[in-house]
Amino acid sequence: MKRAADLAPALAEAARTVARVASGRSLSDALERRAEGAAGGAVMDLSYGTLRNYGRVQALVAALSHKGAAQPALEALLWCALYALDSGRYAAYTVVDQAVRASALLELWSARGYVNGLLRSYLRQRDGLERRLASDASAVHCHPRWWLELLRSAYPERWQDVAAGGNSHPPMCLRVNRRRISVDDYAAKLAAAGMPARRTGESGLLLAKPAPLAEIPGFDGGEVSVQDAGAQCAAAYLELAPGQRVLDACAAPGGKSAHILETAAVELTALDVDEARAARIGGGLARLGLEAQVRVADCAASAGWWDGRTYDRVLADVPCSGSGVARRHPDIKWLRRAADLPAFALRQAAILDGLWRVLAPGGKLLYVTCSVFPEENGAVADAFCARTPSARRCDLPGGDPAQLLPGAEHDGFFFALLEKTR
């Protein structure tokens, strides 16, 4: 178990972070003011853990509280403290004591007795509360009810596994830059550094245990990047060849663009509609010794950026719900609404329509989402093919499934390979 040192300030800062997310901010924005050093690590763990388990901790506070809705910071502190108790990382008496201290740090002076009483009640009533929560799907599976209903409809035999995958700690996968070092040689470097890993895909190495970037051999020298094993499928599915003109239409932050350039000597254009995000692409490519034409543009509005020369391959990694990567971004479960999916589908359809114009006859477009919802995956791809006579959906290379679900090796992704027949 961890010592109590810094737990109170970490709980207070995590409560501020979680309260910001509950008010509608993204987790990345909310964490901008997190504590540094050791306390910073605790803040990250408490924030991510609480958000991954938000359905459970919300239900617990609702069951234990007799005051109704509390102040946002107080309610968030209780959520974080309950997660800390469930995590087993700290002694129970430590969490209770430090949560009371954290309430003072949050200037919730009058709530100290309430925090103490509620947490002690949880420890006394834990078994009974578990039985009560067993009938609450959102509390058990830690996803919104609408989300669980969509999973149950799409994956009637596996929906609980999909939900569990979305709550798990994500794996850390590296992508070897084979222009600089072979996968076998880099694996030997990892082994020498005491970092066991196993091969996945053409360029991937799945670490047995995640590690900070500063400890990854050769990272600064461009020998390797961090990229989920599922995301690494995109470059292989594009069936790249030297000399092709390739468009990465929604490219930021640039991981798939870099993988394309590592795979084949192509002429790559990388677009992104967000200027700040697009600015990150060039830095990542420079670290790897790669070059591309990077532009800020809306890929769906080709009149504003296209020079009339068609592309042999187009990667459309479109904006989506992010439901397949919720374990990396647990705030998604707070921030998404069922009504968002039709809006995403409309945007995805517009992107496909716009990009089809710039694809050469005989060329291929890879439609990608990091979603597990059919409404923005197969439904969008099939509808596009139905209204586009020149579009033919192809099997993925190797006969791979179109839908990857979050699991021990990769996050959730969807792929549809579309060929322009004329």
Specify the DSSP class assigned to residue 404. Answer: E
Contact 183, 189 (CB under 8 A): no
| Residue 370 annotated among the catalytic residues of the structure | yes
Q: Torsion-angle region of residue 185: left (phi > 0), alpha (psi -120 to 50) or beta?
A: alpha
Q: Report the DSSP beta bridge partners of residue 391.
A: 420
Whose CA is closest to 76, among 126, 116, 115, 125?
Answer: 115
CA gap 313, 317 in Å, rounded: 13
Whose CA is closest to 82, among 68, 99, 101, 67?
Answer: 99
Contact 207, 170 (CB under 8 A): no
Specify the DSSP class assigned to residue 213. Answer: G
Q: Collapse the DSSP code of 205 into the 3-class scheme (helix H, G, I; strand E, B; otherwise coil) and give the result.
A: strand
Whose CA is closest to 109, among 100, 97, 117, 118?
Answer: 100
Centre a 10 Å sphere on the Cβ of residue 383 and count the other Cβ atoms it contains. Answer: 14
Total residues belonging to the chain: 422
Q: Collapse the DSSP code of 91 into the 3-class scheme (helix H, G, I; strand E, B; otherwise coil) and give the result.
A: coil
Task: Tell me the residue type at 41.
Answer: G
Structure tokens at 94: 């430590």
DSSP letter string, 159-186: HHHHHHHHHSPPP-EEEE-TTTS-HHHH
Q: Looking at 80, 233, 320, 370, which residue is catalytic?
A: 370
Task: Tell me the residue type at 260.
Answer: I
CA distance to 164, 370, 373, per residue, from 404 (Å): 15, 9, 11
DSSP letter string, 217-231: TTTTTTSEEE--TTT
Number of H helices, E strands in the chain: 17, 12
Active site residues: 370
